[in-house]
Amino acid sequence: MKLDDFDICEDIKKIGYNVLNFKRITDSDALLLWDKAPLPFLGFLASAVKRSKSGNEVYYNRNFHVEPTNVCLFNCRFCSYKRGADSPDAWNYSLEEIETIVKERSKSYITEVHIVGGVHPQHTIEYYCEMIHRVKAIMPWVSIKAFTAIELAYMIEKAGISYEAGLLMLKESGMSAIPGGGAEIFNEDIRSKICPDKGDSKQWLKIHEVAHKLGITTNATILYGHIESVADRIDHLRRIRELQDLHSGFNAFIPLKYRNFGNSMSEIGEVSVIEDMKMMALSRIYLDNVPHIKAYWPMLGKNTTELLLTFGADDIDGTIDDSTKIYSMAGAEDQTPTMSVDELIGLVSKAGYVAVERDTFYNKINL
């Protein structure tokens, strides 16, 4: 299809021409696209942007998660993962237990270990450095992508050192990259209602900025579909785009859908798959300087992930191996999330794209 094949108003058509000619859209453009552009047109534009960045390829990797604890200092209203220390559903792994988890997977072709969990009030930065060191000792070839900005800020501030010094300690221990969790929504008024005692948006952005300056690449996320407005989502995207303009440290952006099971915001419900498609497309169109947009299949489900590959996503994450509980505890479709490489390739192929294995930094892997 061509842009002129769509029955759209002149304002939308003008924005479309700008997108196709690699001109940056404004916040008002983004809002107009959301409110007025037909869904197929959003998919058309997002797919065009995706092809300009990654052609016909969609990426996956071989990974698993280590979630050291679900005991957390904070009380985020959207969270279904946190448990109190005395809860029968709580866990807090020792370093030896984490070694066991890693050893069980050490003979596979894993290229990335993803470490995130609750902000445990007793854990120190030395504990996390030792954890990384032990994981690398067992699997020296893997990249370790570890800790949300909220976890990092807490452990570093608790140590009484600068963000730069703390991140360097973790990097020297073997941490290769940082995931994008904890961003939630940057609007502080909304943030005060859904995660009032968590760090603010400036803290999240500062941690990632310092990481980028140190050569540590990161991802970025948004939690959408709760009490925020579309304007709040666009404001969030703008702040990501502005930081990326400074240091180009973000590898990927991941729109994360609010899931409403087992938390204190359950009455809100969840947004539709149509809204998931619009959010994915808008992310790809707006974030012109972020290389990759990820459809995170354990959160979205396999069928929706396949659909979103036609709305700008060019990454679906990895094998997981039933190693994360964050979204299964919130009611996600896949309660034991795992996919084989063949299943990942099949999902991508069904959507009409070519599956490509990558490492943490989007280098292609040919086994």
Indicate whether 34 belongs to any domain: no
CB 146 within 8 A of CB 173: no
Res. 20: pLDDT tops 80: yes
> Does any domain span residue 26?
no
Closest CA to 170 of 178, 160, 180: 178
User: Residue 34: which H helix or E strand, with range?
Assistant: helix 27-36
Instruction: Determine what percent of the chain falls in helix, strand and coil, rounding each to the nearest 5.
Output: 45, 15, 40
Query: Token pair of 200, please?
Result: 């603010």
Whether 179 is in a domain gets the answer yes
pLDDT in tens, 71-92: 999 998 998 888 988 899 999 9
310 touches 343 (CB < 8 A): no
Q: What domain count does the chain have?
A: 1
Q: Name the region of 26 (left: φ>0; alpha: ψ -120 to 50; beta: rest).
A: beta
Given the DSSP bridges, would you call strands 63-66 and 57-61 parallel, antiparallel or unpaired?
Answer: unpaired
Query: What is d(CA 115, CA 157) in angstroms, rounded to the nearest whole number?
Result: 19
By DSSP bridging, strand 354-357 and strand 112-115 are: unpaired
Residues in Cβ contact with 34 at an 8 Å cutoff, skipping those fewer than 6 apart: 230, 234, 278, 282
For the residues 189-200, what does the mean pLDDT come to?
A: 94
Mean pLDDT of 2-8: 92
Half-sphere exposure of 6 (CA within 13 A, CB side): 22
Has residue 186 got a pLDDT over 70? yes
Question: For residue 319, what are the domain limits?
Answer: 57-357
Question: Is it the case that residue 42 has pLDDT exceeding 70?
Answer: yes
In DSSP terms, 218 is beta-bridged to 178, 250
Give the residue among 214, 116, 134 at the shortest CA–CA distance from 174: 134
User: Of the candidates 236, 242, 180, which has an alpha carbon nearest to the alpha carbon of residue 24?
Assistant: 242
Least confident interval from 136-140, 189-193, 337-341, 346-350:
337-341
- Predicted confidence band of residue 367 (pLDDT cuts 50, 70, 90): low
Does residue 334 register a pLDDT over 80? no
Nearest alpha carbon to residue 302 among 314, 317, 284, 292? 317
DSSP states of 347-358 as a string? HHHHTT-EEEEB
Q: Could you tell me if residue 3 is inside a domain?
A: no
In a domain, 43, yes or no: no
- 332/354 Cα distance (integer angstroms): 26
Asked if residue 18 is part of any domain, the answer here is no
Judged against a pLDDT cut of 70, whether residue 269 lies above it is answered with yes
Residue 206, domain CATH: 3.20.20.70
Element (H or E) spanning 217, and its range?
strand 217-224
pLDDT at 91: 94
**Tokens matching residue 208:** 């990632």
